[in-house]
Structure 1
Amino acid sequence: MAVPMRIPVSFGDVFPHGAFVLGVEADRDFDAVKAGHPDPQVRDKETGARVWVVRVLDAAPDLRVGQAEVKVKIAVEHQPVPPDLLPGTPFRPAEFDGLTITAYVDQSRKTPRVGYSLRASGMRAPGGARPAKAA
């Protein structure tokens, strides 16, 4: 049995109380930036598409300080556009399609711990139409 590096998960399992987009930015390769590379944006190892980082506020009410903001990476050629604001608020609710989780060991701390990263194939407004599947 082969276990994939990127394990598929449902949006509701990761964000049972919903999620709000705080911003979208290019994922930068810091070594390429230091070397003065003209295009230092990270590329997806599997598809070669540009990688974008979506900063997300997890709406779970029981999170501790520092746990509410997470990052979801999306590999697409053009910058993803967040859903519209909720009228009268600064919040942009979103759902992620094709969500995967990858576990890793964070050895940058005094005591190593297991961390995880999130990736998605797309982002949309909650309850919105899902993107069409490629034929």
Structure 2
Amino acid sequence: MMAPDLNQPLVLPCGATLSNRIAKAAMSEQLADRHGHVTRELRRLYDIWARSGAALLITGNVVTDRNALVEPGNVIADNAAALSGLRLLARSAHAAGGAVWMQINHPGRVATVPFNRRPRGPSARREPVPGFNIRKP
């Protein structure tokens, strides 16, 4: 049996059909503005990726709580004000007929200093991640 061609459509178990078998993996672009809003640069990047031929674009971290940041420059979607920028990002990603899926993120108790002094998660204790979460005097 021959391996499928990358240009063949792919029907996913959820019922979605991708036009080919090429996907842009999630990565952290860090191109949101200082308020966590989608920027023109971020929309342009997704437009370029969409025109590259990938059928699926998975976004970078989209943080669900501005009090639980992962790193600077991530998009923050914790209120209705974020919707207009996210719609524009989706339009850019759909420019060539591809799909865009959002990687939602909340760091929970592994939130890092200096962004989160009091992480929120299922445990009140910080995760002992080497090199992270070290408080300096």
TM-score by length of 2: 0.24
* Structure whose residues are more often strand by fraction: 1
* Structure whose residues are more often helix by fraction: 2
TM-score by length of 1: 0.25
